[in-house]
Amino acid sequence: MSDSFLELKNLKKSFAPGEDVLQGINLTIRQGEFVTLLGASGCGKTTTLRIIAGLEQPDSGSVWLEGQDVTALEPNQRDVNTVFQNYALFPHMNVADNIGYGLKIRKAPKAEIKKKVKEMLELVQLEGYEKRKPSELSGGQKQRVAIARALANNPRVLLLDEPLGALDLQLRRTMQLELKRLQKKLGITFIYITHDQEEAINMSDRIVVMNQGQFEQIGTPDEIYNHPKTSYVAAFVGNANILKGTVAEKNGHHIKVKLGDEVASIDTEEKVNVGENVTVALRGENILLEENGNLHATVKEKNFAAGQLRVLLTLPNGDEVTASRFGMNADIQPGQQICWRFEPKAAVLVDRPKGGIN
């Protein structure tokens, strides 16, 4: 039982006929794990979280917590607490009353509530803020109070719904570290929702990539980033280029793939056959613009964003790829013909049929 602390079994949910938000998802989460549900908005991650919290009922399937079926339990009957996306702090209560609310409902003695509130405020580094109203707090402080309030109940699982979404970049980075620190210290299972791949990679033990109500891939940040299974994961998490090609030659793990009229070498563990159509994921930073490159392209555009120079290339077969590198020095101009290449290990075959690994 130790391996399945929280288990989702074949959850299905739709809000309107024909519009399935969840198409039968399964997930097993271990005690003390930091799991992130990563996906674009509308992929069903919030619905999954709300079903775990009990705020939403699945159409079918079940939620198991420590071996007990909790699907039918009301939110107030579950040892699960939520940090809401917009904090949901009670505006008419001060910080102490917000944090102590759960304990007050459990009819804990006043002294105990006070002690716990103090302890929680220390935990989130907001000592002395007891009497403040939520409206007097900054975004980051609100976030800390929301976390303290959810943790005050000693939940078995803490659910976090894009908790850092409303914060600016700087604060978000600080809070990421802090959340990770808290989770390690308390040893509570965290289920975290975000659409920010960076956040997911920085914090999680495991990442669940969701797309259209289904799980695309479940794995460690390294697996998700470096070994994407599907083109969606590769594109969403690694901003990879997706190329279609055909296997031309095979020599053990080394294969040659025809991309249009040109041929590129790829190392792969996948079992492929010569002549098979394959999908190749290639991240922008792995595209090397070098004179001795065996591949050709025309520069379509170049632009500078987030510290990276991005060069949009048109391949001879009409496909477009984006190469990116740090710094903005690149002696190329739109319209120019250039050569490029990539390391055989840098490309990944994705969208493979199941069970095809050597």
Closer CB to other proteins, 73 or 339, in the complex: 73
Site string for other proteins, 24-53 (x = CB under 8 A): -----------------------------x
Report the nearest approach of other proteins to the CB of residue 224 (Å): 29
Pick from 5, 34, 84, 225: which binds other proteins (CB under 8 A)?
84
- Based on the shown chain and the rule CB under 8 A, indicate whether residue 166 belongs to the binding site for other proteins: no
Tokens of 117: 């509130």
Contact region with other proteins (CB under 8 A), list: 2-10, 19-27, 98-106, 306-314: 98-106
Strand order of the β-sheet with 80-83 is: 80-83, 157-161, 189-194, 34-38, 206-211, 214-219
Contact region with other proteins (CB under 8 A), list: 70-78, 167-175, 223-231, 269-277: 70-78
Which regions of the chain does DSSP assign to beta strands (E)?
6-16, 19-29, 34-38, 60-65, 68-69, 80-83, 157-161, 189-194, 206-211, 214-219, 240-251, 254-259, 262-267, 277-283, 295-305, 308-314, 320-326, 337-340, 348-350
Pick from 17, 18, 67, 91: which binds other proteins (CB under 8 A)?
91
Question: Of the candidates 62, 58, 45, 152, which has an alpha carbon nearest to the alpha carbon of residue 98?
Answer: 152
- Based on the shown chain and the rule CB under 8 A, indicate whether residue 189 belongs to the binding site for other proteins: no
Tell me the CB-side half-sphere exposure of residue 72, using CA atoms within 13 A: 1
**Which of the residues 104 through 163 are near other proteins (CB under 8 A)?**
105-106, 135, 149-150, 153
Closer CB to other proteins, 46 or 322, in the complex: 46
DSSP state of 44: S
Report the nearest approach of other proteins to the CB of residue 81 (Å): 6
- Based on the shown chain and the rule CB under 8 A, indicate whether residue 101 belongs to the binding site for other proteins: yes
Question: Beta 254-259 vs 262-267: how paired, if at all?
Answer: antiparallel
Q: Are 212 and 44 in contact (CB under 8 A)?
A: yes
What residues make contact with other proteins under the rule CB under 8 A?
Answer: 53-55, 57, 74-76, 80-82, 84-86, 88, 90-92, 101-102, 105-106, 135, 149-150, 153
